[in-house]
Amino acid sequence: MNRFDGVKVLLTGAASGIGRATARRLAAEGAAIYAVDVSEQGLAETAAQAAAQTNAPGAITTRVADVTDEPAVIAAAADAADTLGGIDVLVNVAGVHKTTPIETLTVDDLNRLFSVNLVGTALFCREALKFLPDGTGVIVNTASLAATQGNPYMTAYAASKGAVLAFSLSLAAELTGRRVRVVPISPGAVDTPLTRAPDMFPDGLDVGYFTKIRSYFGAADPEQIASAIAFAASSDAAYFTGADLRVDGGAHT
């Protein structure tokens, strides 16, 4: 079953982690993908991995762009529509993280987190909506479990993801007339370069807090989030819009 045969997908954050796994999953199901990221090398690796999959009839076009750069986003969305012959699905995955106690939180931290996580997502939604078809268009935005669950030392990140969630719920309501679905997805902990970064848990923090919010299932593999994104973006989720799709291994219970 290739749920994405002939489906044109614009995907951000495709050079690593969840975005790369999503590119591979959607390509394996037949999608034509326009993949955006700031990392040229990472994008090339994602495209190579997708092409190496034995059952990957979908093609990947890559474009280096910063999701916070408005002219670059406008140009990327227009080129995606031109290259693919339209856009059926937008998946916003690009994001950044910062763990810091409130005492050392800076305005730069706040601006960076909101700029990439919220503004980048919002800009791609606005631009892709110029091309998404009424009736079948889909947007999947990556929020986080941190949007609805307290996460120590992640106040700014959590707030930026709460903003992505709120933005997505209101956009879903606004687009019901066009019958374009908007699905925010909220992963719990996922094993990716983001969570493996050496500064994920700066020295001196009480990491014991984190054991209380983790899933007994452990961290997810990026492929487990990609499969949920594929569901949300597919016609299997045709009645699914404006509701947070939590993929957290029970960490929220």
Ligand X SMILES: NC(=O)c1ccc[n+]([C@@H]2O[C@H](COP(=O)([O-])OP(=O)(O)OC[C@H]3O[C@@H](n4cnc5c(N)ncnc54)[C@H](O)[C@@H]3O)[C@@H](O)[C@H]2O)c1
Which residues contact ligand X (rule: CB under 6 A)?
12-13, 15-19, 37-39, 42, 66-68, 93-97, 116, 120, 142, 144, 187, 189-190, 192-195
Question: Which of residues 136 and 214 has its CB atom nearest to ligand X in the complex?
Answer: 214
Least separation, in Å, of the C-beta of 242 and ligand X?
Answer: 19
**Encoded amino acid at 56, one letter:** A
With a CB cutoff of 8 Å and minimum separation 6, the contacts of 17 are 93, 190, 192, 193, 194, 222
| Least CB distance to ligand X at residue 74 (A) | 14
CB of 187 to ligand X, least distance (A): 4
In the chain, helix, strand, coil percent, each to 5?
A: 45, 15, 40
The first and second tokens of residue 58, run together, are: 């979908």
What angle in degrees, to the nearest 10, is found between the helix axes of 70-84 and 120-128? 40
DSSP per-residue codes, 45-68: HHHHHHHHSTT----EEEEE--TT
Q: Specify the residue, 77 or 189, whose C-beta has the smaller distance to ligand X.
A: 189
Q: Which residues are catalytic?
A: 157
Shortest distance, CB of residue 168 to ligand X, whole angstroms? 13
Q: How many CA atoms lie within 13 A of 26 on its CB side?
A: 35
Nearer to ligand X, 39 or 136 (CB): 39
- Minimum CB distance to ligand X smaller for 136 or for 195: 195
